[in-house]
Amino acid sequence: MITKPATPARRSRVMHRTLRGDPPPVAVGGEGVWLHGADGQRVLDASGGAAVSCLGHGHPRVIEAIQKQAATLAYAHTSFFTSEPAEALAEELVGHEPGGLANAYFVSGGSEAIEAALKLTRQYFVEIGQPGRGNVIARRQSYHGNTLGALAAGGNAWRRAPFAPLLSHAFSHVSPAFSYREQRDDETEAEFTARLATELEAEFQRLGPDTVAAFVAEPVVGATAGCVPAPAGYFQAVRAVCDRHGALLVLDEVMCGMGRTGTLHAWEQEGIAPDIQTIAKGLGGGYQPIGAVLVSDRVVEPIRRGSGAFQHGHTYLAHPVACAAALAVQHVIRADGLLDQVNRHGALLEQRLTERLGNHRHVGDIRGRGLFRGIELVADRASKAPFDPALKLHARVKAAAFARGLACYPSGGTVDGVRGDHVLLAPPYIISPAEIDLVVDRLGAAIDDALSGVSHQEARS
Ligand SMILES: Cc1ncc(COP(=O)(O)O)c(C=O)c1O
């Protein structure tokens, strides 16, 4: 029998993420940490979408900057012109050369930033006379974006699988620095770090050290693993491996950067700096699509002296309205002392989550930094066994939370790209203590709602 596909009650011509069922509710406005639906629903935005809306919604200073720039100059192609907001934004970000990063290349989002970082890495080695460096090492359970280069760099099994034939073999993957899942019971943190560094060294040796262009990593892993910081000393150790073999260190701070973890750059907490860094979400705070690649002179100068041009580009590079919005967002973060607030309110969020969920029989780990927190759900705390992926517990939590007026960012595949569930929280930096209480109350209730729909028999994987 041929069954007709279910026709949504409301037809939408937008090709939404989910093609089945009704289209998502219409968002019509927002203020502070709240999003407003067309039906009058008020939703507490506890993840800023996907760790994007760092200033919340409707910020007057950012709106004013966008309006002013749109009225002054909306667009001028970068092959002819630069613009005042692009110059000012670059000055704001790298004028003081943080960690030696002295140049900014502006794109329209995180995946574009990663693509540019990868091509820049490759071009650097071609220009310095090392064209044999064509391999890039990244980590399993990482996410670097959905365009083909970025997806190939990423190490998430589920996201890669359908597109495997299109993904470059230039990328290989080592273990993630994921203490909860990867550190052995008989191992200290220092021994775990040393083991990961040895594995990276072995991967350089397997590929041939002079064939490796870069090691790419998120300082705090976001979407695929749920706010996983590295163990102490890890980034110093991998920096040393890269330096020993002349490879570049590329840090992807698209999600964890621009203040999210309590310092403007997450690498500041690691005692090292990258050669190339990508940023995006917290750069423009969702007010405009924008990403950037921050680059050291070590990389830019040989290209300047060599071919004289980065062989790359997009139509919307350094878009003036996007740069004006990002500049306003960064001014607000600095002027309002929001990094300090991320640290204070991040600690409060951690404390509240621990009080509410720390002894929960299905919460295995609560982790993260600043206002970037992950909660890993497990079927059994002692063995850390995940729930059966077929139950889609993460999707149940998302639906239950939304029904309670909470938008959070749960995902599956936490353990290995297929098994495991976590919830990611990344609220706006302006969130108040009372709103943090509300987030934790609603999330705790939503997790219990979701679990009550999963019988314990089903729960074992
Ligand atoms: C670490 C990281 N890199 C890259 C990306 C891709 O960014 P975009 O979705 O803006 O293309 C993301 C998005 O979640 C991310 O978290």
Helix runs in 208-280, H state only: 234-245
pLDDT digits (tens, 9 = 90+) for 341-359: 999 999 999 999 999 999 9
Evaluate if residue 457 carries a pLDDT over 50: no
The reported pLDDT for the residue numbered 415 is 97
The vertex-156 CA angle with 390 and 24, nearest 5°, equals 60
Average pLDDT (18-41) is: 95
Type of residue found at 330: Q
Residue where the block lists tokens 């309205």: 321
Contacts of 342 (CB under 8 A, 6+ apart): 259, 260, 261, 262, 370, 371, 429
DSSP 8-state class, residue 209: G
Name the residue of 143, 156, 253 to mutate for ligand 1: max ligand atoms within 8 A of Cβ: 143
Helix runs in 140-252, H state only: 148-153, 157-160, 179-182, 189-207, 234-245
The reported pLDDT for the residue numbered 7 is 59
The reported pLDDT for the residue numbered 8 is 63
For the record, the structure tokens of 46 come out as: 């506890």
How many residues can be counted in the chain?
461
Instruction: Give 5's pLDDT tier (boundaries 50, 70, 90).
Output: low
Sheet holding 42-45, edge to edge: 27-31, 34-37, 42-45, 406-407
Evaluate if residue 3 carries a pLDDT over 60: no
- Rounded distance from Cα 457 to ligand 1 centre (Å): 36
**Closest ligand 1 atom to Cα of 221:** 1
Instruction: Give 1's pLDDT tier (boundaries 50, 70, 90).
Output: very low
The reported pLDDT for the residue numbered 78 is 98
Instruction: Give 104's pLDDT tier (boundaries 50, 70, 90).
Output: very high
The reported pLDDT for the residue numbered 456 is 54
DSSP helix/strand/coil, 278: strand
Q: What is the mean pLDDT of the chain?
A: 96
The vertex-292 CA angle with 171 and 261, nearest 5°, equals 85
Dihedral angle computed from the Cα positions of residues 358, 363, 368 and 370, in that order, rounded to the nearest 10 degrees: -50
Average pLDDT (193-212) is: 98
**Closest ligand 1 atom to Cα of 150:** 4
- Binding pocket residue ranges, ligand 1, CB within 6 Å: 50, 109-111, 114, 143-145, 218, 222-223, 252, 254-255, 280
Contacts of 211 (CB under 8 A, 6+ apart): 132, 133, 134, 135
Q: List, in sequence order, every residue forming a beta bridge with 249; answer none if it has no partner.
A: 215
Evaluate if residue 188 carries a pLDDT over 90: yes
Contact 141, 224 (CB under 8 A): yes
In 3D space, the residue among 246, 243, 225, 227 whose CA is nearest the CA of residue 235 turns out to be 243
- Rounded distance from Cα 280 to ligand 1 centre (Å): 8
DSSP 8-state class, residue 143: -
Name the residue of 114, 254, 267 to mutate for ligand 1: max ligand atoms within 8 A of Cβ: 254
DSSP 8-state class, residue 77: -
Contact 293, 253 (CB under 8 A): no
- Rounded distance from Cα 255 to ligand 1 centre (Å): 6
Average pLDDT (244-262) is: 98
The reported pLDDT for the residue numbered 11 is 84
Specify the range with the lowest mean pLDDT, choosing from 15-19, 79-83, 150-154, 419-423: 15-19
The reported pLDDT for the residue numbered 10 is 73
Percent of the chain with pLDDT over 90: 95
Evaluate if residue 261 carries a pLDDT over 70: yes
List phi, psi (to 5°) of 303.
Answer: -75, -40
Burial of residue 156 (CB within 10 Å: 0-12, 13-18, 19+) is buried
DSSP 8-state class, residue 394: H
Percent of the chain with pLDDT over 70: 97
Q: List, in sequence order, every residue forming a beta bridge with 103; answer none if it has no partner.
A: 295
Evaluate if residue 4 carries a pLDDT over 80: no
Q: Closest residue (by CA) to atom 13 of ligand 1?
A: 145
d(CA 313, CA 410): 34
Contact 93, 291 (CB under 8 A): no
Name the residue of 111, 146, 151, 316 to mutate for ligand 1: max ligand atoms within 8 A of Cβ: 111
The reported pLDDT for the residue numbered 6 is 57
